[in-house]
Amino acid sequence: MVENLNSLVKENANATIVNNTAIPNERNEEAVQEASTAIEDSLKTSLSGGNVKEVADLFNGTTDNVTANPVTQKATGNFIEKLQSRFGLDVSQAANIANNLIPTVLKRLVQKTSDPSDNSFDLQKIFNEVSGGKTNGLNVQGMMTKFKGSMDKDGDGDVDAQDLKAFFAGSGGVVDKIKGLFK
């Protein structure tokens, strides 16, 4: 996944990194790598912190929802920090780059994972990689379907706090099991 993610960032980095005078050309590859790392780390952090719903919402939602997703926001914030500390960009420059690049890359990632004719990104492989192989044997697609369709526990047509409470209630619930995989 890391190589494919790096390629995906490169494909979308022309305007934000490559053609940006704030980042020296000889450091473009480094900036692309930092963007990839920010995305990968935000996925890992969300999953290891038990925020599986954030990741599920990212991959189950439409690309319209990507920017508002906490995973995207974490990746964007991490990338802003890296651009400031490693490249000496001011907050405005860093935010402009990160806010344009990270959501675009994640939108493309979501599109690619949901496209059955595109095998460059596989949801199962992504989860296996960010969990260090701990999700091997776990039916990630089935889990995502549960988050998407069967979580409306109270039958009111939406998935809200009441539904989540019912879904995850009790010790040894789904969250406890999933959290343990990413530690």
pLDDT, mean of residues 147-174: 50
Assigned domain for 149 exists: no
pLDDT at residue 141 in the model: 64
Pairwise CA distance, residues 167 & 35, whole Å: 34
Assigned domain for 180 exists: no
Q: In terms of pLDDT, which residue wins out, 144 or 51?
A: 51
Assigned domain for 174 exists: no
Number of domains comprising the chain: 1
pLDDT at residue 148 in the model: 57
Pairwise CA distance, residues 110 & 150, whole Å: 21
Is the CA virtual torsion 145, 148, 153, 157 positive or negative?
Answer: negative
Q: Is residue 157's pLDDT more than 50?
A: no
Assigned domain for 179 exists: no
pLDDT at residue 180 in the model: 54
Q: Is 21:31 a contact under the CB 8 Å cutoff?
A: no
Assigned domain for 171 exists: no
Summarize pLDDT for 15-57 with one digit per residue, the tens.
999 999 999 999 999 999 999 999 999 998 988 888 878 888 8
pLDDT at residue 3 in the model: 81
- Taking the model in full, what pTM does it have? 0.75
Assigned domain for 60 exists: yes
Summarize pLDDT for 77-129 with one digit per residue, the tens.
999 999 999 999 999 999 999 999 999 999 999 998 888 888 888 777 777 77
Domain extent at residue 11: 2-136
Assigned domain for 150 exists: no
Assigned domain for 164 exists: no
